Amino acid sequence: MTNALEIEGLTKTYGDGFHALKGIDMNVRQGDFFALLGPNGAGKSTTLGIVCSLVNKTGGKVRVFGYDIDTHLSDAKLNLGVVPQEFNFNQFEKVFDIVTTQAGYYGIPLKQAKVSAEKYLRKLGLWDKKDTPARMLSGGMKRRLMIARALVHEPKLLILDEPTAGVDIELRRSMWTFLEEMNRQGTTIILTTHYLEEAEALCRNIAIIDHGRILKHTSKRELLQQLHVETFVLDTETTLESAPELEGFPCRLSDEGALEVEVEKGQGLNRVFVQLEQQGIKVVSMRTKANRLEELFIRMVEENAREASGGAA
Amino acid sequence: MKVQAMVTAFNTIVIREIRRFTRIWPQTLLPPAVTMTLYFIIFGNLIGSRIGEMGGFDYMAFIVPGLIMMAVITSSYANVVSSFFSMKFQRSIEELLVSPVPNWIILAGYVCGGMARGLGIGLIVTLLSLAFTRLEIHNLPMVVLTVFLTSALFALGGFINAMLATKFDDISIVPTFVLTPLTYLGGVFYSISLLPDFWQGVSMINPILYMVNAFRFGILGVSDVNPFVALGMILVFIALLTAISLRMLKRGKGIRH
């Protein structure tokens, strides 16, 4: 089966000489929910910008559902829907006009465009705002408007660049549900996000990019298996003055006074509880710290930075 | 993209442009109507009655074609330059760039949008002029051809200006310091036969002189230049500016990184 997206040796050097991409390779399978992660300035938006033809590439190949953007750009674009990081619609136009106009750009006749626009504006809870000028919408509504606009021509590949940036938790969760539904219905989704919790919750495959290079391109499961240590947070009945000595388990007190215990893969938690019991410490609740992907991500980016500075020296 | 889809995309751009300038009609349609009415009253009626005849016609009848053309030129240019630059500024141009619309359809859509406003203003000014003078069309095909082509030419000019502009100041420099002087010195208010030989020669390098005179020939049957040469010149300029615009779009000048 043809991949939804194939990138080979993609390079980008901006006019000021900055090498944003240094030859990246990446494949996204049809039907995938894929995350492209990386710190600010890593090359995520440049990569997606090239795929969407908002950025001119310097070298390499990009194919969308088999269509090479150098030779079959129009066919490639027909399969793409794009939700950019920043609001990029005419603030003075009405919501409905923005969405139907976008459909028109894809050659969809007005009658059909109106039906499609209504479908997605209803799904995204914006139908009652259809006659409102875009500038009057809240930040969350503007994000949803951009999603409706990107979907109006029913693309097979949806690209979202930081779709939930600045969106409150409740709305973010509802957007996750919506995107999961789109993915279940067959739309391939690629997203970049700073919320690694989001990538961990939604995506099946992940690429980590930094300094214009792909550091890792694998499945989420495989990536998480690389995490050897997991941190558990234990709330104790009484406030501890200092962290207890636990043989084989490094531990410390958090700022909030909870006990944080590092447990390596394969170690049982029972030994932790036995030792705590012996020291008269009673645990009332337990949870894992932060999200695992975030820990792994930070570790990889830091390692890459260390290697880069070592190489330079 | 299939032909039918391209037609839909073209219509979408033109309709959006028309919707834009009609939505803000107090900024786009009203000012030229008011300005031209003042020209008719002050230059045509008050001052014109003391000037007498020019080119064999009373002064009011003489300046009407030039004023119509002046309104068409400035409106066609202004529509495209402000609309396209605003899209660049708000980044809503990305809506078009990510879509499969070919560059030549984007250009055609914007030019036709500019022409819609330019020709609409031309019609308004023509109707207003009827309150001051009688218009007897000498050569209708020449009138139609000249006004359409001139409108297209300046819409193209506006497009290039918008592509090159990086800030709002850049979109007012050309209209203020190039278009307005060339229009005023392009024989709108006088026949260049009144000028000394040297200044007649200088006037002949002003392209707007040819457009105004070709249009005046269509309406009054008099012209300082050969109207067919004028038409040829407009066509050459249109071809040149179209080629430049398409090249800029292909390279993504000012719109792609």
* Mean pLDDT per 10-residue segment, chain B (257 residues): 92 94 92 91 81 81 88 94 93 92 96 96 93 86 93 95 92 88 84 84 86 89 87 92 95 83
- Are residue A28 and residue A117 in the same domain, yes or no? yes
pLDDT band of residue A312 (cuts 50, 70, 90) is very low
Range list of H helices, chain B: 3-23, 25-28, 30-39, 48-51, 59-90, 93-97, 103-129, 140-164, 170-174, 180-184, 197-203, 207-220, 227-251
The region of weakest confidence among A141-145, A186-190, B3-7, B188-192 is B188-192
Residue B257 lies in a domain: no
> What residues contact residue B232 under an 8 Å CB cut-off, 6+ apart?
none
Q: Among B6, B11, B95, select the one facing A88 at the smallest CB separation.
A: B95
Q: Indicate which of A86, A90, A110 best probes the interface with B, i.e. most B CBs within 10 Å of its own CB.
A: A90
A183 near A28, Cβ under 8 Å?
Answer: no
pLDDT of residue B13: 96
pLDDT of residue A295: 67
The residue count for chain A: 313
> What residues contact residue B158 under an 8 Å CB cut-off, 6+ apart?
B76, B77, B78, B79, B80, B81, B84, B114
Residue A114 lies in a domain: yes
Neighbours of A136 (CB within 10 A): 12
Predicted confidence (pLDDT) per residue in A243-281, tens digit = 888 888 888 888 778 888 888 877 788 888 989 898 989
Neighbours of B225 (CB within 10 A): 20
Q: Quote the minimal CA–CA distance from A25 to chain B in Å.
A: 21
Q: How far apart are CA A261 and CA A259, in angstroms?
A: 6
Q: Among A49, A55, A109, select the one facing B8 at the smallest CB separation.
A: A109
Residue B218 lies in a domain: yes
Which amino acid does the sequence have at A220? K
Query: Which chain A residues are within 8 Å of B13, Cβ to Cβ?
Result: 104-105
Query: ipTM of the predicted structure?
Result: 0.85
Most distant CA pair in chain A: distance in Å? 75
- Are residue A133 and residue A79 in the same domain, yes or no? yes
Tokens of A212: 């214009």
Mean pLDDT (chain A) is 87
Could you say which residues from 30 to 69 on chain B have a Cβ atom under 8 Å away from some Cβ of chain A? Answer: none
pLDDT of residue A215: 87
Q: Which domain holds residue A271?
A: 227-292
Predicted confidence (pLDDT) per residue in A20-68, tens digit = 999 999 999 999 999 998 888 889 989 999 999 899 999 999 999 999 9
pLDDT band of residue A313 (cuts 50, 70, 90) is very low
- Are residue A160 and residue A238 in the same domain, yes or no? no
pLDDT band of residue A227 (cuts 50, 70, 90) is low
- Are residue A72 and residue A200 in the same domain, yes or no? yes
Residue A157 lies in a domain: yes
Are A107 and B87 inside 8 Å of each other by CB?
A: no
Number of domains in chain B: 1
Is B166 touching A (CB cutoff 8 A)?
A: no
Nearest-CA residue of chain A relative to B12? A104
Helix (H) or strand (E) holding A146: helix A139-151
Q: Which domain holds residue B83?
A: 3-251
Q: Indicate which of A105, A131, A153, A154 best probes the interface with B, i.e. most B CBs within 10 Å of its own CB.
A: A105
Residues of chain A that touch chain B, judged by Cβ-Cβ distance less than 8 Å? 14, 49, 52-56, 73-75, 77-78, 80, 82, 84, 86-92, 97, 101-102, 104-110, 149
Tokens of A54: 């908002």
Are A77 and B100 inside 8 Å of each other by CB?
A: yes
Nearest-CA residue of chain A relative to B20? A93
Most distant CA pair in chain B: distance in Å? 61
- Residue A152 vs residue A165, higher pLDDT: A152
The residue count for chain B: 257
Mean pLDDT to the nearest integer, A204-228? 83
A-B Cβ pairs (cutoff 8 Å, strict): 87
Is the predicted pLDDT of residue A291 greater than 70, yes or no? no
Total-model pTM: 0.82
Query: Which chain A residues are within 8 Å of B92, Cβ to Cβ?
Result: 88-90
Q: How far apart are CA A5 and CA B227, in angstroms?
A: 57
Number of domains in chain A: 2
Report residue A58 CA to chain centroid gap.
25
